[in-house]
Amino acid sequence: MADAGTADGPVLDVRIWRGTEKGAFVRYEVPARANQTVLDVVTWVQRHREPDLAYRFACRVGVCGSCAMTVNGRPRWTCRTHVKRLPAHRPLVLEPLRNLPRIRDLVCDLEPFFARWERAGGRFVPTATRRDPLPRIAPDSTARRAVDAGIECINCAVCHAACDVLAWRPEYLGPAPLNRAWTLVNDIRHGAREEVLDRTSGDAGCHACHSQASCSEFCPVGLAPTAAIAGLKRASLWRLLGGSRA
Amino acid sequence: MRVERLDTDMLVLGAGGAGLFAALHARRAAPEFEVTVVVKGLLGKCGCTRMVQGGYNVALAPGDSVERHFMDTIVGGKWLPRQDLAWRLVEGAVERVHELENELGCFFDRRPDGTLDFKAFAGQSFDRTVHKGDLTGIEIINRLMEQVRAAGVCRLEEHRAVALLPAADGSGIAGVLLIDMREGVYRLVRARAVLLATGGGPTMYRYHTPSGDKSCDGMAMALRAGLPLRDMEMVQFHPTGLLAGPETRMTGTVLEEGLRGAGGHLLNGAGERFMLAWDPAGERATRDVVARAIYAEMRAGRTSPMGGVFLEMAHLGPEEVARRFPGMVRRCADCGFDLAGGRVEVVPTAHYMMGGVEFEPDGRTAIPGLFAAGEDCGGVHGANRLGGNGVANSTVFGGIAGDSMAAFLEREGGALRDPDPAALEAAIARCERPFGRPAGDLGELRERLWRVMWEEVGIIRNATGLARAADELARLAADLRDLGLAGGGRRFNLTWHNWLDLDSLLTVSRVIARAALAREDSRGAHYREDFPDSGDPAASRFTRLRLVGEEISVETVPVEFSILRPGESLIEEEAGAPPAAEAT
């Protein structure tokens, strides 16, 4: 383990993965601050120690989902993970997200994640045009509530990294694409609801999920992909039995 | 230097509301042509549209009308908007919201009876802001991203545009020089038509709200390409940004308007309310008034420990605050602050640029083949943008620009042209400049830029300060030119991109300071303590700025009141007419 510099005052002991699939952790001492997120720690290292440290972020406030990393073994959004909330007196260990190809240092290629989103049918198919009036839809209808429960996904891929099924079955669609699929199955305006069930009912779809619920445990915005996947399982079974959609 | 070349038909720079709508419309209008989107981050995951909280202004509520929306936009913009653009905005918003819902799959909040819910926003005479909770931008960009990915659009992600290249024969735009940020190589993309839709984002101020990728690259490229920009002195400050101290990216992020609207108190360092001395509406006064009042407290030294003021909600009942503002309370809690029960330090924060490239209602610019849309453009909002008109602006004009580019190719063919070799060489030389020079302190330079823009070109301005700013900005530009990077790697080298960000920001900052000096009145977002009067609206002029070599030229141009003159109204009845008061 290389050591890349020290700083004065109270410091954090930080280990950051440098490299791609091959690489090593490098240790840094980062000044501790009263208000400091994990993203701030990474930024400090880039600004003061490693000008070419690769990491990704955009919005800083938890809406874009660009800055997710593995923090002490757990996938997290780093812009809203306060250092104080992590166990003290232990090194802060930062790695890229699991289950995705690595580009460099803390950056992953998210393309396999978005390709699954598409494969799961994650795109609205219209049944009306801009010339039609907006539909009247009661916000408290059962179907609309099912959509609302899952619609605020920020596609950060934290659930993808948390999923143990994906770790050993790379063809699995994964939690976020299935969660989006379930919102479309429940969207009464969507023109391809059966197709979404077709796409998500195969071996690599909802039935591959073992309900370990890591996705729901780690989702930073509190969604429950596990519940969405359970909904898809029910709907696809209903269909097999010749019934209507659940 | 390695330059990889590729050709496309329509090249879209930017992937926010403007860029993605343009790509979609261009693809649908002319499927025989290829569309390529360039984005500095990942498609759908960076930029400012995604960060929209409030919502989207559209005249759809019973009793509302596009005329009313137009009047609010003009009055709110202090009679400075280009009226045909403002009209196109309010009319286009109606179609775009239907398109977003019916064709792209967005779903905006409904009332219990299933009809659209309209939120009240400051400075508007009608409740007309449609929204998806307080995360409207995520809904819009996620649905757009899905459609664009499925539409067969080529993507160049983590690519940064660095120069608009003119054709060697001077006939128009030839293409754009990009840096592939992952690979660290240059890509020269020739295109028949190009859209500038990179967004604005005033991140040259110490406190700012936009996404971290924003650095005014689009406006800087437009200036270097010789295009005129207008209204650049008009920078909107949001009154309540989170103040969390130095060296944290949390600082400057927005605490929403609704907190003041609900009855939140602003307290100075001594714990005293101060807003009632400024405006009878107190904390509920408009953005510009509240931002100026907070800034005045700060200048007088009556600050909270970190140099701002306090926002206090607790008197409304911590549980009630947590119920009404769950997102804000959670965000503050994640950052270590108790918004519901304690006091949170806040500071005004630079939010939006009303100014930008001059463009036509169909998206054309002064360069043949180059179109522009969104926050890169000026003229829609005038001196002040209404909350909820920002996302309307980007999506309405993005879609229009996409249609226009397709029509341009169908009509004129838009030949692929070779770029001017001297322009290409100069652009590469500018980007290569920091390599091989002794490494300097980029952070110190950024702090100096933040300080001078905040203190001299910020919320309260005067001639002396603006002159000082011009000197300091010139020094900073010279210092940046001499400042090198440690190490020579170009692959995913964020520090190289920080250098390029500063280059763009400095170019645009100089233009903001120059425009602010030229406007000798106080209007909307622009306040001159040496010229506090707002001037006669009927004699309104707007600023027009150009980069000529390294010099900035400025002229003031009379506003053309093409639809109506100050004092006139499109609304006959008194009731519901736009407020005469300041609008934000």
Indicate whether B239 belongs to any domain. yes
Nearest CA in chain B to A46: B495
pLDDT for res A5: 47
Minimal CA separation from A184 to chain B, in Å:
9
| SS3 assignment for A227-238 | HHHHHHHHHHHH
A243 band by pLDDT with thresholds 50, 70 and 90: low
- Give the CATH number for residue B477: 1.20.58.100
pLDDT for res B163: 98
Question: Which residues of chain B have a CB within 8 Å of the CB of A79?
Answer: 249-250
Q: What is the DSSP string of A61-84?
A: SSSS---EEEETTEEEESTT-BGG
CATH number of A2-108: 3.10.20.30
**pLDDT of B308-341, one tens digit each?**
999 999 999 999 999 988 889 999 998 889 999 9
Domain A111-240: give its CATH superfamily.
Alpha-helical ferredoxin (1.10.1060.10)
In Å, how far are A19, A68, B58, B550 from A107, measured between CA atoms? 10, 9, 39, 37
Q: In the predicted model, what is the mean pLDDT of chain A?
A: 94
Residue after which a domain boundary falls, among B352, B384, B412: B352
Model-level pTM?
0.96
Residue after which a domain boundary falls, among B422, B456, B482: B422
- Give the CATH number for residue B337: 3.90.700.10
Indicate whether B144 belongs to any domain. yes
Same domain, residue pair B102 and B228? yes
ipTM comes to 0.95
Answer whether residue B575 shows pLDDT above 50. Answer: no
Same domain, residue pair B332 and B391? no
Answer whether residue B582 shows pLDDT above 70. Answer: no
Indicate whether B563 belongs to any domain. no
* A9 vs B: CB within 8 A: no
Same domain, residue pair B171 and B197? yes
Minimal CA separation from A207 to chain B, in Å:
24
pLDDT for res B486: 84
Same domain, residue pair B329 and B341? yes
For residues B164-173, average pLDDT: 96
Question: Which residues of chain B have a CB within 8 Å of the CB of A108?
Answer: none
For residues B157-178, average pLDDT: 97
Residue A183 phi, psi dihedral angles, 5° rounding: -65, -35
Question: Can you give the residue range of the structural domain that contains B400?
Answer: 10-234+353-422
Same domain, residue pair B216 and B241? no
Same domain, residue pair B435 and B396? no
Please report where in the chains the tokens 């490299």 appear, as a residue.
A19
Indicate whether B404 belongs to any domain. yes
- Give the CATH number for residue B21: 3.50.50.60
Please give the Cα distance from B237 to B143 (Å, whole number): 29
Residue after which a domain boundary falls, among B315, B334, B352: B352
Indicate whether B255 belongs to any domain. yes
Indicate whether B97 belongs to any domain. yes
Same domain, residue pair B85 and B172? yes
Please give the Cα distance from A198 to B520 (Å, whole number): 65
Which residue, B223, B39, B62, B59, is CA-closest to B141?
B39
Total structural domains in chain B? 3
- Residue of B49, B211, B331 to mutate, testing the A interface (most A Cβ within 10 Å of its Cβ): B211
Q: Is B238 a catalytic residue?
A: yes
- Residue of A123, A129, A145, A158 to mutate, testing the B interface (most B Cβ within 10 Å of its Cβ): A123
Q: What is the DSSP letter of B526?
A: B
Which residue, B59, B126, B128, is CA-closest to B576?
B126
The CB density around residue A181, as the number of other CB atoms within 10 Å, is 30
Indicate whether B214 belongs to any domain. yes
| B514 or B125: which leads in pLDDT | B514
